[in-house]
Structure 1
Amino acid sequence: MAKYVLWGTYCDNVEEKRAPHRQAHLDGLKVQKESGVLVTIGPTKDLRQVFAIYDAPDQDTVEKLVQGDPYWQNGIWTEYEVKEWIQAF
């Protein structure tokens, strides 16, 4: 499978706005991690962006996972970009 990187942005006041959706978001990420499709994910320290690495059959799979996430569906993530990544090392 190919690897994909995701860069996305968070809404303003993210800590407050994400609170009602946080557990559902984390539960979904746990399922993705256990299935092997999600390698890693996390926010930048300033909570302005999110970064993730996926191991997926195609970009469409990654985009469906992002669009199905409560953070995307509820405006916590405001933009995202997925690119196929070549892991050199």
Structure 2
Amino acid sequence: MNYYILFYTLTENYLQERGQYRAEHLGLAKDAAEKGELVLGGALDNPADEAVLIFRGADESVAINFAKEDPYVKNGLIKEWKVRKWNAVVGSKFENE
């Protein structure tokens, strides 16, 4: 399995507008986490202009599919997004692998 980082660039009105889509977004994230696909995710702070979600899967499609279904993306709260493979080599996740 590989790790992939989904990078979001947030709109200026992200904090004001996300409320109406937040439950659906978090539901999608919780489903991905329960499947073992989403490892960690959240918005950066001060300023809240970007978000990072770390996925684990056979290929980048796990992160790409999440972004395409995310209500934040579908409703214009994300200016742009990209996925990059992350060659993680150390940390507690690797102790049992």
The match for 1:86 is 87
1:31-63 Cα shifts (integer Å, max 9, x gaps)? 011110000000010210001110012112311
Aligned pair 1:61/2:66, yes or no? no
- The alignment of Structure 1 onto Structure 2 pairs a total of residues equal to 89
2:13/2:77 contact within 8 Å kept? no
TM-score when normalising by structure 1: 0.93
2:56/2:62 contact within 8 Å kept? no
Q: Name the larger-Rg structure.
A: 2
Query: Partner of 2:88: helix, strand, or coil?
Result: coil
Runs of 4+ with deviation above 4 angstroms = none
Q: Distance in 2 between matches of 1:62 and 1:7?
A: 10
Q: Distance in 2 between matches of 1:43 and 1:60?
A: 21
Query: Partner of 2:21: helix, strand, or coil?
Result: helix
TM-score when normalising by structure 2: 0.86
Once the 2 structures are TM-superposed, how far is the Cα of residue 68 of structure 1 from its aligned partner? 0.5
Partner amino acid, structure 2, of 1:18: R
Computed over aligned residues only, the root mean square deviation of the Cα atoms, in angstroms, reads 0.9
Once the 2 structures are TM-superposed, how far is the Cα of residue 21 of structure 1 from its aligned partner? 0.5
